[in-house]
Amino acid sequence: MHPGLQENAENMDRNRAFGKQNLDSDHVDAVIKAQNLNGLADKFNDIKESKYASQMREPLGKAYERKYQMPGETQTDGFKYGVPSGQCVSAKELLYPAGGSLEERPETAAMYVKTHGNIPAGSQKDREYDWRGINPATHAFGYGEKRVPNGAKHSIHNERIDENFPKTVIVKKTVEDVRATITDQLGISKNLGQGLKQDPEKVFGIKNQVEGQWNAAKCIHGEPSERELQPDSDLGMCTKPGMRNTLRESEDIGRTFGCPTIRTDIPTKKLKSVADH
């Protein structure tokens, strides 16, 4: 019953059904039995369906009929298809022609290489290429690098290898002075073109502030007094006028009312959820 009709429940008929009634249909068993034909009805139905190609080539319960006109020899009882074997060959040799038995018969193995491309394991496939004087059995393709012993050591200390030293090139002093000015030197600050420093002990920049002066930390935290660090006097008390807590017992002085955030008076739940009130 609809919830809006609860007040008028005493006036409603309990047997009343709401909605649209479904129309009656034939059951599955009745539909199947309607296709069963017996006697002359089944005979007449076969005559009507005999004109279809599927009925002629795929009769029920029989093999697919392709309407082949086979010679009379195939109708004899002793007729067999295929070429008879000259001798009995095991199924293993038929499935694995490159087995141990073929190794003993090289002419048979060569035939399977030509007809089936059956190359023995670990053997090179010969595609009958014209290598033009190159022996593929010994020739190695690709770029060969010079083999240097202790390669890992030389990779770490490449500056110690004599072959890696750059060749000495004579250049003008002005060119070298420009290169030393505009490029970064190892272990030396970059030359900004301001001349030599007069006082070696002089330190550039702003000196750090001495202790006691205000810095960023003091700007954030300030300098609160001991009294300012104490909690508020109305902490845990209602400050709304007319709804303040009135102490009825003397032992409630200093008591914090309300339910604590972390409950220790109830057992801990095994499964915690934000939806669990």
97 or 179: whose pLDDT is higher?
Answer: 179
Q: Does the structure show a pLDDT above 60 at 104?
A: no
- Residue 277: what pLDDT? 66
Among 242, 262, 237, CA closest to 252: 237
- CA separation for the pair 112, 130 (Å, rounded): 23
Task: Indicate the DSSP class of residue 232.
Answer: P
Q: Does the structure show a pLDDT above 70 at 230?
A: yes
Per-residue pLDDT tens over the stretch 41-66: 888 888 888 888 888 888 878 888 78
- Residue 158: what pLDDT? 63
For the question of whether the overall pTM of this predicted structure is more than 0.85, the answer is: no
Give the CA distances from residue 174 to residues 13, 168, 171, 181, in Å, rounded to whole numbers and listed in that order. Answer: 114, 17, 9, 11
DSSP per residue over 123-158, as a string? Answer: PPP------SS--TTT---SPPPPP-SSHHHHHHSG
122 or 266: whose pLDDT is higher?
Answer: 266
Give the CA distances from residue 25 to residues 21, 22, 113, 245, in Å, rounded to whole numbers and listed in that order. Answer: 12, 9, 69, 75
| Residues 57, 65 contacting (CB under 8 angstroms) | yes
- Residue 109: what pLDDT? 67
Q: Does the structure show a pLDDT above 60 at 253?
A: yes
Q: Please give the mean pLDDT across all residues of the chain.
A: 77
Among 87, 149, 96, CA closest to 120: 96
Task: Give the pLDDT band (50/70/90) at residue 181.
Answer: confident
* Backbone phi, psi, residue 99, to 5°: -80, -170
Per-residue pLDDT tens over the stretch 200-220: 787 777 777 677 778 888 888
| Residues 221, 211 contacting (CB under 8 angstroms) | no
Q: In sequence order, what are the residues at sequence separation of 6 or more whose Cβ sits closer than 8 angstroms to the Cβ of residue 209? A: 215
Per-residue pLDDT tens over the stretch 106-150: 666 677 777 777 777 777 777 778 888 888 888 888 887 777 788
